[in-house]
Amino acid sequence: MTLMEFFGCSFIAFGPAFALFIFTISRDPLRVIVLIASAFFWLLALLISSILWYAVVPLRKELAFGLVFSVIFQELFRYLFYKILRKADDGLKKVSQTGQDMHVAPRDMTNKHIMSYVSGLGYGIMCGAFSLINVLADMAGPGTIGIYGDSQYFFVSSAVLTLCFILLHTFWGVIFFDAWDQKKYYMIGVVVASHMLVSCLTLLNQRTESRPDPVYLASIIPAYIVMFVMGFLAFVTAGGTYDNLKRSFTCLSSRKYEID
Amino acid sequence: MSTHLVNTDDSDLVETERTPLMDAHAAHSGKRKVIREDYEDLERNRQTSEENGTVDTVPGNRADTTQRQSREPAGPARRRGTSGEHEDEEEETLLYGAKHVIMLFVPVTLCMAVVVATVSSVTFYTKKTGYLIYTPFHDADKADASTGTKVWQSLANAGILLAVIAVMTIVLLVLYKYRCYKVIHGWLIASSLMLLFLFSYIYLGVVLQAYNVPMDYITVALLMWNFGVVGMICIHWKGPLLLQQAYLIVISALMSLIFIKYLPDWTTWVVLGVMVIWDLVAVLCPKGPLRVLVETAQERNEPIFPALIYSSTMVWSVVGMADNGATPRDNQIVTVGDNDEDYGFGEQRERPRLRPDGLSTSSTESQRARNAVAVLGHGEEQESREQQPRQTQNRRSQQNEEDEEERGVKLGLGDFIFYGGLCFTLLLLAIFRKALPALPISITFGLIFNFATRELVRPFMDSLASEQVYV
Amino acid sequence: MGRKILLFHNVILFYVGIVICTRTSKKIYFDVDGNSPCFRRFNATHQIGCTSEENGNVGVVHYVKDDSDFDWVVNNGPHHPYVVLLGSLEFNLKNVTLLKNSGRVNGIMVIHVVENETLTPFPEEGFSPDSSCPNDGYGLYNDDSEFGHCKTVAWNHNGTNLMYQDFNIPIFVLTNQTEVDFLINDCYEKFNKPTENGTARDYPLCAAELKDRMSGAKDSPTCMRRTNVATNLNPDTYCDPLGDKNVAATIKEVNSSEPYPNNSVIIAAARLDSFSLFENIYPSADNHVTGIVGLLAAAEALGKMKPAIKSKTGSKDILFAFFNGEAFDYIGSSRMIYEMEKGDFPAKKRGNPNELTLHKITLDHLSHFIEVNQLGYRDKDSLWIHSDPHSRQSGNISAEIDKMISTIKRISSDVGVKMDSVGSKQPLPPASVQRFLMKKTIPSIVITDHEGHYTNKYYNSRFDIAREINATTPSSNESDAYDIISEQARMLTKVSTSLAGFLFELSTGDPPPDVLEADVNQVNHMLHCFLVTRKCELFRQILPASDMKALGSLYLGDTVNVTEESNCKKSDDKDFVYQYVWMQGPKVANSTTRKGICKKTTANTSLAKSPAFDITDYDWNSGKYSTWTESSWNTISVRIFLVPSPRMQTTILSCGVILLLLSLLLVYGCNKKADILFSKNSVY
């Protein structure tokens, strides 16, 4: 049985997302709503890209084509969701601020970043789920991959890449929304470009005639580099600084504020 | 965090604790009293008293009958006293709506989990060995059926089913009108008996068989007796809330499974669509049976049978939430159902819940349990509403089961769509501040996505995943 | 769920295309579709056959070719449990018992690619999974001190009794060349084969999952009780009685209003079924397609003589009977006798006396019995006529039997077929007639191809194929192969001609006319359709009907002059004598359209289900009737895949758990410190 592999890969891919969800999302209904709605938007983007992929019959075998348009659609829908979120913002903000009356939340905390983080995570979770769930389902059976010569690291690399994409989407969410708010359009470019870059890098995972064994490191290492860069950018965007980081480690704050 | 109560007396708190989810709209004026400050605390209380679950979501809406009365007069004053601005109500509404949608998630997910787990491990429920008498056309399930056949047969089946439901509803209405309460009670009890004993016995049998577990008849008899009797007590009388919720989930799951087994594949889909329409008609039409029922109950100023009120609740919960903002005094939100009455639609349905005597507070829980009867008594209707999301999911896993290709279950897509649609509706609500029917939106999305996924998204994602390409 | 055994019920199969899908599971699993499992069956006291665990049996594949491989699997190999791949010669009772008893074998796959003689050599010395005394205990000589339990002749001397073992592990045959090649080369050789110096290979190893879970257990009474128990609300069954349909047709078409004297019906019978250890792999070439075709061709020839037989006063009727389920203790024949005794044969009594049916046939009506068994491997180039020594105790009967023998010998030698009678002290071989003789002493002969023990060394086995009886033709082109007359067909045609002549003379008392001759083309077509491919022209012609009844109707029925299928029905509501069978018929010359035929016939099917299952309170241990049932099942599958090393699995799992815990910690911490971490925010 490959159950251990199954659980291992599930934990790797979804462990961090699960932790984020449990501690930062699950207790606030609004965040859950936004999370799910944004995940829903990712699904819409996927639907559109699938339709396109399906419609253009001659290129159905060329995943690169579907991939490029899928990235574009995802970013479009991210923008759409941004718009909708901002439309609903008045309502949400009031709710959220009223909601904060009851527990002493830091007043300077903006809910915009929280909401962009939440929607980014929603995007990521949905993306991760769709990328990996079917693989996971196949993984649970008695067998592992390789009878046709596929790499035995297929599952691990899938899980690792899924994790990367979940986190990337989260960071992109924060950066992207902030970029629109601040009209820092180059940041939008950064997001779209890095998304396109990382996705295209994963094309290297394909097995082809000339490349019977995919070099997973060639896609995973750059993807993680991009992820850390994006993580840093998102951290900065959300107001994180080195000082803050240091402070949070050193100062055992007497104030017990939480995000929520 | 603070745990203080602001402006709330104990009785109010207790009542609010018990406020079931589906009542959000109906209970608004009562809720309104409980202002922001208490919200969190109520939250906590609710959680500790483990009330944030199923019962509320399923048939909902009666538990606060008793509270209504006491609250009603105090409500507006209190509200004005605390928040002072009525716009706030919208946000409250939204927040409550959000809260309640999330509270929906747990039981619905649990129920789906039960159904999916069963369907994917027990072949009994996916094998078509017979059909309901209401669905006489099953050629569509044959492999070589043409699209035309599928369409007309599914429509015909759904039509028949709809007619049956309509007739049942009208019979119920007539019974109610002529105060044949005993008959209605008998009906409800009989159906719950059947579900709790017969269907669960079948379920136990097939599960044991699927997992190859031997069990002697004495054990089975003991199990069944205890399960059934406790269930009857919980549903028709009283019991710990958690237990009631568990029973509701089990019952809903059993119902779903029965429908999965005995409804022809394609009919299930059409039934979903048809039920949406039936809901609209039954609830919104001036002479719609459910509406008449509610009005009758209202005239009599007596509690309505849970089975009857239930059917009008869930679909319009979000509408109701929106309606909450529209008090007679402050009618800025246009309600769908608000026509010639001078009160919002939500309030129309509150009225019946005003009870001169009501049950004692201690028995509110059992009232909620009685709501469970709704699930039974209104089998078909319950199917149409409560089951919709589940069915979406079930059908999916069923197909998976049938199709060797799809051995892996696409976990949670069906319910996700449902949630997604619901959440999306909520967002739209936040934007448009207008009454929007939640369930139709959810189901529409569900249907679209289900078919789109099967034909388009799955092949795309499968080829991506198998090549390890990420988008 | 439960399918029945039985061979020729559905003659024509169609295949549905399979959709291609690129799922990850396609990269993990290699599905072996050309597989056939051994099923579990029950009789009144035992369970036999195979089953897997609920979720299938998984084991590392090992291709066992010689003793060292056996040793590896049974003693040395470190990666047990194994799933053993066996060649056709190695699959015998001794080896299977050895493997099974080692406790280290989780399943067996047997190579059976009949087209490839190098990959699948046929055992020279013969192979039969049946017992050496088939149908012992249910025949005429059960407990007979002289002939019982095959004391005189062990008919099936190659019988290994493999069929009647209870294995408790799954055993499959693999029939597809490509899949077997993949299994050997891409699975075993590539991943599992021990290195030159005899050490085991490292993970990942190639494993196979065999799944054929049988839901029944213990014995027929138990599983029938479970199936029928009132509290079983689940309509699934645990086992189904074996059986199918008998087919019977009469020549004279006597209806219930006409006189039908006793001792006026000759039965000409053949058996329809055989078995092998594996489901659906019963080619049954010699046993019993030769018999079926021989008798059908005789029926066809006699069909043309119907007017002559009918018009002759005092002629006897001929009942062509094809029994099903005979290999499992005479299910079909005992059923027909049971119905004859009840007066329900050939059809159930109808309530309305005005309704015409075929005249009922009881045991009293029977005058002679001719049974045709195997005809394929002729012992000393001759066919052999067997008779029952007990029957000969009565002088009349003995004389009648001798008369039958001399008649058929005379007629056959005219045609050019050698027939000899075996010694009169030799008992009958296993044959349906034994069941009749248990009820009534009828002059009967059994015509078959062996004098003593079976000449068919592959009796009731998967090797009993057309090639072995020379019933195949060299051409690979279907339309040519269909028309080229095979050696066996020529021989069988002569046999059929003699049979037809013999039956004619037995019925009318007149010598057979010269025109009475079996059609060599029909014989050849039938052999081709039954043994080579069922997608043949003859079977197409009888579409949409697709069974023995249709063939019987085609050969024995009268053509009704209608052109529309909807008109092919009886004209009188009260007439239940005839069946009306519509067939799409042969192609019109120079065209692709076909001209439909409507046949009016007495050929009809009747249930071949052991009476044991219909008699209330049947005593299971009485040994009166067959009690065979077959377990129901859910999924049958064979998959090949790799199993990862436990070390790698553990590593991945630990990584996952650590990552999960770390992230839980980190997120919790960050969340607690969020206000500090993101404190300098000024967006809003």
Q: Which residues of B326-362 are buried (b: 16+ CB within 10 A; e: fewer)?
A: bbeeeeebebbbbeeeebbbbbbbbbbbbbeebbeee
pLDDT number for residue B42? 38
pLDDT number for residue C323? 94
* Spatial separation of the C-alpha atoms in residues A71 and A65, rounded to whole Å: 10
Cite the beta strand spans of B160-304 per DSSP E. none
**Residues A48-68: pLDDT tens digits?**
898 888 888 777 777 888 889
Per-residue confidence band for A162, with pLDDT thresholds at 50, 70 and 90: very high
Q: Which of C641, C657, C668 sits opposite A143 (nearest CB)?
A: C641
Whether C362 shows a pLDDT value over 70: the answer reads yes
Q: Which C residues 585-644 touch A at CB under 8 Å?
A: 639-644
The total number of residues shown for chain B amounts to: 471
Q: Angle at Cα B187 formed by Cα B183 and Cα B193, nearest 5°?
A: 140
Overall average pLDDT of the B404-412 stretch: 29
Catalytic pick among B12, B41, B56, B279: B279
pLDDT number for residue A8? 93
Contact C235 B209 (CB under 8 A): no
Overall average pLDDT of the A101-107 stretch: 39
pLDDT number for residue C237? 80
Per-residue confidence band for B14, with pLDDT thresholds at 50, 70 and 90: very low
Write the burial class of residue C576 (CB in 10 Å: 0-12 exposed, 13-18 middle, 19+ buried).
middle
Chain C residue numbers touching A255 (CB-CB < 8 A) = 675
Question: Any bridge partners for residue C268, and if so which?
Answer: C320, C370
pLDDT top residue among B327 and C342: C342
**Residues B81-92: pLDDT tens digits?**
333 445 555 556
pLDDT number for residue C419? 92
Helix (H, G, I), strand (E, B) or coil at C121: coil
* Spatial separation of the C-alpha atoms in residues C432 and C288, rounded to whole Å: 13
Contact A11 C660 (CB under 8 A): yes
Q: Which residues of C252-261 are buried (b: 16+ CB within 10 A; e: fewer)?
A: bbbbbeeebe
Percent over 70 (pLDDT), chain C: 95
Per-residue confidence band for A136, with pLDDT thresholds at 50, 70 and 90: confident
Whether B56 shows a pLDDT value over 70: the answer reads no
Q: Cα C585 to the chain's mean position, in Å?
A: 27
pLDDT number for residue B360? 25
Q: Which of A40, A51, A94 sits opposite B423 (nearest CB)?
A: A40
Contact C25 B212 (CB under 8 A): no
- Look at A96-100, B216-220, C223-227, C448-452 and tell me which has the smallest mean pLDDT: A96-100
pLDDT top residue among C663 and B250: C663
Look at the block and give the residue holding tokens 């005597």: B357
pLDDT number for residue A237? 86
Q: Which B residues 190-219 touch C at CB under 8 Å?
A: 198, 201-202, 205-206, 209, 211-212, 217
pLDDT top residue among C504 and A40: C504
pLDDT number for residue C301? 93
pLDDT number for residue B418? 53
Catalytic pick among B41, B265, B323, B415: B415
Chain B residue numbers touching A213 (CB-CB < 8 A) = none
Domain coverage including residue A253: 2-259
Q: Which C residues 634-673 touch A at CB under 8 Å?
A: 639-644, 646, 648-657, 659-660, 663-664, 666-668, 671-673
pLDDT top residue among C299 and B182: C299
Chain A residue numbers touching C60 (CB-CB < 8 A) = none
Structure tokens at C45: 């006291």
Chain C residue numbers touching B212 (CB-CB < 8 A) = 54
Per-residue confidence band for C339, with pLDDT thresholds at 50, 70 and 90: very high
pLDDT number for residue A223? 93
Most confident of B261-270, C35-44, C479-488: C35-44
**Residues C632-648: pLDDT tens digits?**
888 899 999 999 888 99
Overall average pLDDT of the B276-293 stretch: 73
Per-residue confidence band for B321, with pLDDT thresholds at 50, 70 and 90: very low
Helix (H, G, I), strand (E, B) or coil at B405: helix
**Residues B157-200: pLDDT tens digits?**
888 888 887 888 788 788 888 888 788 878 878 878 887 888 88
Overall average pLDDT of the B198-219 stretch: 86
Contact C236 B124 (CB under 8 A): yes
Overall average pLDDT of the A127-153 stretch: 85
- Do the beta carbons of residue C580 and residue C304 sit within 8 Å? no
* Spatial separation of the C-alpha atoms in residues C164 and C90, rounded to whole Å: 18
Chains that touch A (3 or more CB pairs under 8 A): B, C
Structure tokens at B222: 């003991």
Q: Which residue of B has its CA nearest to C19?
A: B405
Overall average pLDDT of the A230-237 stretch: 90
Contact A98 B2 (CB under 8 A): no
Overall average pLDDT of the A189-195 stretch: 92
Q: Provide ipTM, 2 decimals.
A: 0.90
Whether B38 is catalytic: no
pLDDT number for residue A254? 40
Overall average pLDDT of the C122-132 stretch: 92
The total number of residues shown for chain A amounts to: 260
Chain B residue numbers touching A127 (CB-CB < 8 A) = 470-471
Q: Which residue of B has its CA nearest to A69?
A: B471
The minimum CA-CA distance between A181 and chain C, rounded to whole Å, is 9
Chains that touch B (3 or more CB pairs under 8 A): A, C
Chain B residue numbers touching A203 (CB-CB < 8 A) = 469
* Spatial separation of the C-alpha atoms in residues A227 and C269, rounded to whole Å: 81
pLDDT number for residue C241? 92
pLDDT number for residue C380? 83
Q: Which residue of A has its CA nearest to C22?
A: A61
Which CATH code is given to the segment(s) C243-609?
A: 3.40.630.10
Contact A247 C641 (CB under 8 A): no
Per-residue confidence band for B410, with pLDDT thresholds at 50, 70 and 90: very low
Overall average pLDDT of the C450-478 stretch: 86
Of B457, B53, B41, B28, the residue nearest B249 (C-alpha): B53
Chain A residue numbers touching B415 (CB-CB < 8 A) = none
* Spatial separation of the C-alpha atoms in residues C285 and C274, rounded to whole Å: 10
Contact C653 A5 (CB under 8 A): yes
Whether C318 shows a pLDDT value over 50: the answer reads yes
Q: What is the mean pLDDT of chain A?
A: 82
Percent over 90 (pLDDT), chain C: 55
**Residues C260-292: pLDDT tens digits?**
999 999 999 999 998 889 988 888 888 889 999
Overall average pLDDT of the C311-331 stretch: 92
* Spatial separation of the C-alpha atoms in residues B338 and B343, rounded to whole Å: 7
Measured CA to CA in angstroms, residue B242 lies from A127, B3, B48, B102, B313 at distances of 35, 25, 11, 18, 22
Residue to substitute from A20, A21, A23, A242, interface C, most C β-carbons within 10 A: A23
Per-residue confidence band for C319, with pLDDT thresholds at 50, 70 and 90: very high
Per-residue confidence band for B377, with pLDDT thresholds at 50, 70 and 90: very low
Per-residue confidence band for C22, with pLDDT thresholds at 50, 70 and 90: low
Overall average pLDDT of the C337-341 stretch: 94
On whether any CB of chain B is under 8 Å from the CB of C621, the answer is no
- Look at B17-21, B121-125, B139-143, B161-165 and tell me which has the smallest mean pLDDT: B17-21
- Look at B181-190, B264-273, C47-56, C593-602 and tell me which has the smallest mean pLDDT: B264-273
On whether any CB of chain A is under 8 Å from the CB of C189, the answer is no
Count of domains observed in chain A: 1
**Residues C522-558: pLDDT tens digits?**
999 999 999 888 888 899 888 888 788 888 988 999 8
Chain B residue numbers touching C234 (CB-CB < 8 A) = 124, 202, 205-206, 209
Contact B465 A66 (CB under 8 A): no
Whether B279 is catalytic: yes
Q: Which of A2, A110, A244 sits opposite C677 (nearest CB)?
A: A244
Q: How many contacts does A have with B, using Cβ atoms within 8 A?
A: 182
- Do the beta carbons of residue C350 and residue C27 sit within 8 Å? no
Chain C residue numbers touching B407 (CB-CB < 8 A) = 25
* Spatial separation of the C-alpha atoms in residues C198 and B179, rounded to whole Å: 88
On whether any CB of chain A is under 8 Å from the CB of C14, the answer is no
The minimum CA-CA distance between C604 and chain B, rounded to whole Å, is 29
Per-residue confidence band for B384, with pLDDT thresholds at 50, 70 and 90: very low
Q: Which of C27, C215, C232 sits opposite B466 (nearest CB)?
A: C27
Overall average pLDDT of the A124-140 stretch: 86
Q: How many contacts does A have with C, using Cβ atoms within 8 A?
A: 181
Whether C33 shows a pLDDT value over 70: the answer reads yes
Whether C327 shows a pLDDT value over 60: the answer reads yes
Q: Which of A110, A144, A244 sits opposite C642 (nearest CB)?
A: A144
Whether B69 shows a pLDDT value over 70: the answer reads no
Per-residue confidence band for C421, with pLDDT thresholds at 50, 70 and 90: very high
Q: Which of C209, C653, C683 sits opposite A8 (nearest CB)?
A: C653
Contact C652 A156 (CB under 8 A): yes
Q: Which residue of B has its CA nearest to C18?
A: B405
Helix (H, G, I), strand (E, B) or coil at C634: strand
Helix (H, G, I), strand (E, B) or coil at B412: coil
Is residue C288 reached through a cis peptide bond, with omega within 30 degrees of 0 on the bond before it?
yes
Conformational region of residue C263, where left means phi above 0, alpha means psi within -120 to 50, and beta covers everything else: left
**Residues C563-599: pLDDT tens digits?**
888 888 888 777 888 889 999 888 888 888 888 899 9
Overall average pLDDT of the C610-628 stretch: 91
The minimum CA-CA distance between A18 and chain B, rounded to whole Å, is 16
- Look at A104-118, B267-281, C176-190, C529-543 and tell me which has the smallest mean pLDDT: A104-118
Q: Which of A4, A139, A152 sits opposite C204 (nearest CB)?
A: A152
* Spatial separation of the C-alpha atoms in residues C437 and C218, rounded to whole Å: 33
Overall average pLDDT of the A11-36 stretch: 87
On whether any CB of chain C is under 8 Å from the CB of B362, the answer is no
Q: Which of A7, A23, A256 sits opposite C668 (nearest CB)?
A: A23
Q: What is the mean pLDDT of chain C?
A: 87
Whether B465 shows a pLDDT value over 90: the answer reads no
